[in-house]
Chains A and B, each alone.
Chain A
Amino acid sequence: MMHGTKPDELPALRVENLSHSYGSRQALEAVSFAIAPATFTVLLGLNGAGKSTLFALVTRLYATQQGRIEIFGCEVGRMPGEALRRLGVVFQSRTLDLDLSVMQNMLYHAALHGIGSREARRRAGAALERIGLADRARDKARDLSGGQMRRVEIARALLHRPRLLVLDEPTVGLDIRAREDILAEVRRLVAEEGVCALWATHLVDEIVPTDDVVVLHRGRVLAHGPVPRVVEDSATADIRAAFVKLAQIPTRSTSESP
């Protein structure tokens, strides 16, 4: 797979005019962006920017109130099955079943996607091999370190071979080493296997210049595009400065976000 967009290609994820509110609190306001297949896109925003709400909508945990979401052309609201089978998800909270073994967690996920046990075992074995945890397959998930759990969750999310992987703050609570490992693993998936990754974070230092970035602040998209262009458009020196500048545009008041 090539890096970049061809004109006739369906975007991996297209979000159009998406708004969502919890009661009177507006979490997302007219959010629109599209990301191309086989790219690494960072969804950058402070806590409370609306990243988790966006994830809950993309994964159909919540129904879309307004606007639309398409995964490789399949609209999440109208054809949820087709959309979800093209999507791999790594949630912010830990979602491994701690009482089950690593392999059992993998097989359970495969079953949920209708993958038979022989094929599931083969894929899970290969996936664990790739992340260097094949020897831990029989261990209980609770015996893994935080970083290892994350890597298993990523491997698990790819078992049904989705071409879009969304990760909600996957490095929260991990040490620097584990963070780097996981970032490297996901970037490798993008570069070598043509997976498209949407990586939500509030950490600017997880971004490299070849990434695409969507800057989300208080439920609105403030900028979207390749990192160099976002930096240039904001007339700043680097993405950190660009983010600081962008995030303060709307009201200039101190952030009420936690």
Chain B
Amino acid sequence: MSLQQAAAPPAGFTVAQYAICMRGIVWREALRFLHQRERFVAALVRPLVWLFIFAAGFRQVLGISIIPPYDVYVLYEVFITPGLMAMIQLFNGMQSSLSMVYDREMGNMRTLLVSPLPRWYLLASKLFAGTAVSLLQVYAYLAIAWFWDIEPPLIGYLTVLPALIMSGLMLGALGMLISSVIKQLENFAGVMNFVIFPMFFASSALYPLWRVKESSPLLYYVCEFNPFTHAVELIRFALYARVEWVSLAVVAGCTTLFMVGAIVAYDPARGYLARRGEPGGGA
């Protein structure tokens, strides 16, 4: 045995090592989530306020005609439930992106990025972890909503899962992309104003798009081009065990696009990280 090679680890990583790494990242995200009860409560209260108060008030104002995937007239509460599910994921995606900015400043991000596994894999694992947390939130919301007479077919709870995973990944990837360009922690207000509100309101979350078209054709097209609309529609149809193919394609395409963007942004060679400034987090 030569001097150095004795202790040298074998080159490359096994599949098991990749799995261990992802499990570790998901496990940490889950632990953090459990430790931050306020975050969980906030994530639940937000859609419930919309459901209990906003929807109740709007019920009489906005009649919903029969549109797919619904076979009968549905209450407004039922109509906005997929939108609120997507909203939970939107907030979660933005919040985890913000926690990445926070992590970056606090140094936790460095712990992640000095892992010897490929960086794209680390980021993808982080994305899966965030999506898993958003699933917990969405199902908790659905459980409460069930008592509020929002009762999609039982099979819907299962068929909506792949849709939620896809929309969770898309919104998480968007958050990750944004996190690579946000400079400071204080900018959540900016994210609210420039990302969350426009995406949420210019979508089919709160009103069917044919009603939007009646009032403003321009806004209608904005909504149609909003990926969030397609996340909502994908979830809406999946909740009734149906597939909305256009939305599926849009969500899949956007997920890929945002993810590639985030990986490029976090790539040390090409990313913004290096251009932005010096190490030490402004210290």
* CB–CB A107/B24 < 8 A: yes
Chain A residues positioned under 8 Å from B122 (CB to CB) = 112
Chain A, residues 80-92, CB within 8 Å of chain B (1/0): the string is 1111111101011
* CB–CB A114/B17 < 8 A: yes
* CB–CB A81/B283 < 8 A: no
Chain B residues positioned under 8 Å from A97 (CB to CB) = 28, 32, 108, 111
Report the separation of the CA atoms of residues A73 and B4 in the bound assembly, to the nearest whole angstrom.
10
* CB–CB B28/A108 < 8 A: yes
Chain A, residues 108-128, CB within 8 Å of chain B (1/0): the string is 111111111100000000000
Q: Does B16 belong to the interface (CB within 8 Å)?
A: yes
Chain B residues positioned under 8 Å from A81 (CB to CB) = 12-13, 116-118
Chain B residues positioned under 8 Å from A199 (CB to CB) = none
Chain A residues positioned under 8 Å from B270 (CB to CB) = 63
Report the separation of the CA atoms of residues A116 and B204 in the bound assembly, to the nearest whole angstrom.
45
> Which single residue of chain A is at the shortest CB-CB distance from B276?
A22
Q: Does A254 belong to the interface (CB within 8 Å)?
A: no
- B159 CB to nearest chain A CB (Å): 33
Chain A residues positioned under 8 Å from B35 (CB to CB) = 99-100
Q: Does B154 belong to the interface (CB within 8 Å)?
A: no
Among the listed B3, B116, B268, B283, which residue makes an inter-chain contact with A113, where contact means beta carbons less than 8 Å apart? Answer: B116
Among the listed B9, B11, B28, B279, which residue makes an inter-chain contact with A61, where contact means beta carbons less than 8 Å apart? Answer: B279
Report the separation of the CA atoms of residues A115 and B17 in the bound assembly, to the nearest whole angstrom.
7
Q: Which one of A49-57, A174-182, A231-239, A245-253 is at the B interface?
A: A49-57
* CB–CB A114/B16 < 8 A: yes
* CB–CB A10/B4 < 8 A: yes
* CB–CB B117/A112 < 8 A: yes
> Which single residue of chain B is at the shortest CB-CB distance from A50?
B278
Report the separation of the CA atoms of residues A95 and B115 in the bound assembly, to the nearest whole angstrom.
14
Among the listed B17, B25, B267, B278, which residue makes an inter-chain contact with A52, where contact means beta carbons less than 8 Å apart? Answer: B278
- B152 CB to nearest chain A CB (Å): 35
Q: Does B107 belong to the interface (CB within 8 Å)?
A: yes
Report whether over half of chain A's contact residues are helix, strand or loop; otherwise say mixed: loop
Q: Does B269 belong to the interface (CB within 8 Å)?
A: yes
Report the separation of the CA atoms of residues A53 and B283 in the bound assembly, to the nearest whole angstrom.
13
Chain B residues positioned under 8 Å from A94 (CB to CB) = 106-107
Chain A residues positioned under 8 Å from B12 (CB to CB) = 81
Central interface residue in B28, B35, B283, by most chain A CB within 10 Å: B28
Chain B residues positioned under 8 Å from A116 (CB to CB) = 16, 20
* CB–CB B278/A27 < 8 A: yes
Within 8 A of A (CB), among B229-283: 267-270, 273-274, 277-281, 283
Chain B, residues 115-139, CB within 8 Å of chain A (1/0): the string is 1111000100000000000000000
Q: Does B27 belong to the interface (CB within 8 Å)?
A: yes
* CB–CB B117/A114 < 8 A: yes
Chain B interface residue count: which class? 35 or more
Chain B residues positioned under 8 Å from A10 (CB to CB) = 4
- A47 CB to nearest chain B CB (Å): 10
* CB–CB B108/A95 < 8 A: yes
Report the separation of the CA atoms of residues A127 and B35 in the bound assembly, to the nearest whole angstrom.
26
Among the listed B8, B11, B278, which residue makes an inter-chain contact with A22, where contact means beta carbons less than 8 Å apart? Answer: B278
Report the separation of the CA atoms of residues A95 and B32 in the bound assembly, to the nearest whole angstrom.
15
- B279 CB to nearest chain A CB (Å): 4
Chain A residues positioned under 8 Å from B267 (CB to CB) = 63
Knowing A61-B113, A100-B28, A112-B115, the reply to whether A6 touches B3 (Cβ < 8 A) is yes
Within 8 A of B (CB), among A37-75: 52-53, 55-56, 59-63, 72-73
Knowing A6-B3, A62-B273, A85-B9, the reply to whether A114 touches B278 (Cβ < 8 A) is no
Chain A residues positioned under 8 Å from B273 (CB to CB) = 61-62
Residues of B participating in the A interface, judged by any CB pair closer than 8 Å: 3-4, 7-9, 11-14, 16-18, 20-21, 23-25, 27-28, 31-32, 35-36, 106-108, 110-118, 122, 267-270, 273-274, 277-281, 283
27 A-B pairs with CB atoms under 8 Å apart are: A9-B3, A52-B278, A52-B279, A55-B279, A59-B113, A60-B114, A60-B268, A61-B113, A62-B273, A63-B268, A81-B117, A84-B114, A93-B281, A95-B107, A95-B108, A97-B111, A99-B36, A100-B31, A100-B32, A108-B24, A111-B20, A111-B24, A112-B111, A112-B115, A114-B13, A114-B14, A163-B7
The 5 closest A-B pairs by CB, nearest first: A111-B24, A114-B17, A95-B107, A63-B269, A112-B115
